Amino acid sequence: MKFFVLKAYGEPPQLEIKESSIPDLSEDDILVKVSYSAVNDYDWSLSTGKPLLYRLLFGLLKPKLRPGMEISGVVKQIGTKIQNFHVGDRVCGDLSEDRFGGFATHVLAKEKSLRKIPDELALDEAASLPHAGLLVHQSIELLNNKQCKKILINGAGGGVGTLAFQLLKKEGVRIDGIDTGEKLSDMHKLGYEKVYDYKVKDLQKLDEQYDFILDTKSKFWPWHYSSKLAKNGIFVTVGGDLPQLAALLIFKGLIKKLSQKELKILGLKANRGLEDFLKLYLKKSMKSRIDGPYPFDEAANALSRFGQGLHSGKILLKIAPESEH
């Protein structure tokens, strides 16, 4: 098997390809031959060592973990205790509870990290959904069925933003979006009502208020977000800069008490509800926006593309075509 490791922290990513024999399976392991692997913010943070918290968690001098969190592929072998998967099953999943390592031709995973892919869903789309799809799915659950007629998505042109738009869009609902670069034209095509370039007019400068704001990368302070919420509005962030997230945790209770506006941070539960989301994805004829896929040996360039914000949708690495399984 072949896999990427990070030699050191830095930009551009210090990726090196390694080769070894496939390790022996334990009784609760599943061996997956990887078809596609997606690039995520975790991979970028792990490769750069920023924020510094990543170095405390994953290695002070160099990363101890291998990159790659989302995969799709085909089951090639199962341990003796595996009940719910069989050789030949097409699967996808978030490997964050299995020490990552998805930038590889093969991975060993536990049952909790994998879900079967419906027959109608292609392997490339399936690889783009476990993380981004569940960020959207679990964020919308935090609305508790609140009816929202005016919605703002910050980071609207990325993988999370485009899925959120498709899931939230319905008759009588207006959705505005913020992003930059080539993503803006894609957002217009997708159907956003108003499209803002954050290099010209970021969230702080908007003169609108919204029932629901979904933020994919929080960089502002809690009061900036609350000022853009209508009465009883809800703000949900799926990640961002640590000082701003800490401030949100500290002040969200006071803001709710004073203004009846809710600020929430999503704590993603890996793979929870993924089967339901995949069914919903197909039922609503949603389409994941894919950037690539890029060849396996171009992983460093794909990761740099993510870090520079040049991507439109989810960046994928093509590890092995379905014909090779």
Residue with the two structure tokens 């950037």? 291
Helical H segments across the chain, by residue range = 41-48, 53-58, 123-127, 132-141, 159-168, 183-190, 222-227, 242-259, 274-283, 299-307
Surface-to-core class of residue 288, CB atoms within 10 Å of its CB (0-12 exposed, 13-18 middle, 19+ buried): buried
Structure token digits, residue 159: 């993988």
- What is the side-by-side order of every strand in the sheet holding 210-215? 195-197, 174-179, 150-154, 210-215, 229-237, 262-265
Q: pLDDT value at position 295? A: 96
Cα angle for residues 272, 30, 98 (degrees, 5° grid): 50
With pLDDT > 70 as the criterion, what percentage of the chain qualifies? 98
Q: At residue 323, does pLDDT exceed 70?
A: no
Q: What is the fold of 132-265?
A: Rossmann fold (3.40.50)
Q: At residue 172, does pLDDT exceed 80?
A: yes
Q: pLDDT value at position 102? A: 97
Residue with the two structure tokens 């505005």? 176
* 122-151: average pLDDT: 94
**Lowest-confidence pick of 43-57, 161-175, 221-235:** 43-57
Q: pLDDT value at position 159? A: 85
* 68-88: average pLDDT: 96
Q: pLDDT value at position 98? A: 87
**Would the CATH topology of 2-131+288-324 be identical to that of 132-265?**
no
Which distant-in-sequence residues (6+ apart) come within 8 Å of 97 by Cβ?
A: 110, 112, 113, 270, 271
Q: pLDDT value at position 265? A: 94
The full set of domain ranges for the chain reads 2-131+288-324, 132-265
Q: pLDDT value at position 22? A: 92
Question: Do 98 and 113 meet the contact criterion of CB atoms below 8 Å apart?
Answer: yes
Give the Cα separation of 99 and 109 in Å (integer). 9
Give the Cα separation of 63 and 139 in Å (integer). 30
Surface-to-core class of residue 192, CB atoms within 10 Å of its CB (0-12 exposed, 13-18 middle, 19+ buried): buried
Question: Do 302 and 319 meet the contact criterion of CB atoms below 8 Å apart?
Answer: no
Nearest CA-CA partner of 156 in 130, 128, 181:
181
What's CA 312's distance to the chain center, in Å? 13
Tell how strand 174-179 and strand 150-154 pair up. parallel
Give the Cα separation of 210 and 229 in Å (integer). 5
Question: Do 89 and 123 meet the contact criterion of CB atoms below 8 Å apart?
Answer: no
- The predicted-structure confidence for 2-30, as pLDDT tens digits, reads as follows 999 999 999 989 999 999 999 899 999 99
Q: At residue 325, does pLDDT exceed 80?
A: no
Q: pLDDT value at position 241? A: 84
For residue 51, cis peptide bond before it (omega within 30 degrees of 0): yes
Q: What is the fold of 2-131+288-324?
A: Quinone Oxidoreductase; Chain A, domain 1 (3.90.180)
Q: At residue 256, does pLDDT exceed 80?
A: yes
Longest dimension (CA), the chain: 60
95 pLDDT band, cuts 50/70/90, is very high
* 287-314: average pLDDT: 91
Q: pLDDT value at position 321? A: 64
Nearest CA-CA partner of 214 in 146, 279, 272, 275:
146
With pLDDT > 90 as the criterion, what percentage of the chain qualifies? 78
Give me the chain's average pLDDT, please. Answer: 92
The single-letter DSSP state of residue 84 is: S
Q: At residue 139, does pLDDT exceed 90?
A: yes
For residue 130, cis peptide bond before it (omega within 30 degrees of 0): no
Secondary structure class of 284 (helix, strand, coil): coil
